[in-house]
């Protein structure tokens, strides 16, 4: 029987929306139907894209927060352990960007990011 990890909170609605929007952007960019997108549709899409880019750029970074709840806490430690085991140490939600790059591994370097930021509430600050 497949065990779903109850320790992982669902992705926030904004994160899901961002992922869905990226898919839509690719579909618009690769649209091969003649006459589409129409100029009004394209303008609306471009306006929405610009507004979303502003919203996404305003998101407060939260290093060590793998479950995206804007807190770095024991849940992140437990989730890091769970996902490291689940992925066999390969890429997972808990593979953090270090020096601006993801290494594709869920390893002790990612655990160090959590430990360095443990107790951080990224909404309210430290
Ligand atoms: Ca967290």
pLDDT tens digit sequence for 43-91? 888 888 888 888 878 888 899 999 988 999 999 999 999 999 999 999 9
Query: How many angstroms separate the alpha carbon of residue 101 from the centre of ligand 1?
Result: 20
Q: Look-up: residue for tokens 């926030």?
A: 12
Query: How many angstroms separate the alpha carbon of residue 60 from the centre of ligand 1?
Result: 13
69: closest CA among 5, 4, 9?
9
Q: Which residue has the higher pLDDT, 114 or 126?
A: 114
pTM: 0.62
Query: How many angstroms separate the alpha carbon of residue 109 from the centre of ligand 1?
Result: 17
Average pLDDT (87-105) is: 93
Which pLDDT belongs to residue 18? 75
Query: How many angstroms separate the alpha carbon of residue 39 from the centre of ligand 1?
Result: 42
Query: How many angstroms separate the alpha carbon of residue 35 from the centre of ligand 1?
Result: 45
Interacting residues of 15 by C-beta distance below 8 A, sequence separation 6+: 68
Query: How many angstroms separate the alpha carbon of residue 108 from the centre of ligand 1?
Result: 17
Which pLDDT belongs to residue 8? 46
């Amino acid at each position: 029987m497949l065990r779903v990890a109850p320790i992982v909170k669902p992705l926030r609605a904004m994160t899901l929306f961002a992922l869905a929007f990226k898919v839509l952007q690719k579909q618009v960019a690769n649209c091969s139907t003649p006459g589409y997108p129409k100029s009004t549709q394209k303008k609306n899409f471009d306006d929405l894209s610009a507004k979303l880019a502003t919203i996404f750029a305003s998101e407060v970074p939260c290093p060590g927060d793998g479950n995206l709840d804007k807190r770095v806490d024991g849940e992140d430690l437990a989730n890091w352990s769970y996902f490291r085991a689940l992925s066999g140490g390969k890429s997972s939600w808990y593979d953090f960007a270090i020096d601006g790059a993801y290494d594709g591994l869920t390893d002790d370097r990612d655990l160090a990011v959590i430990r360095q930021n443990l107790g951080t509430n990224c909404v309210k600050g430290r």
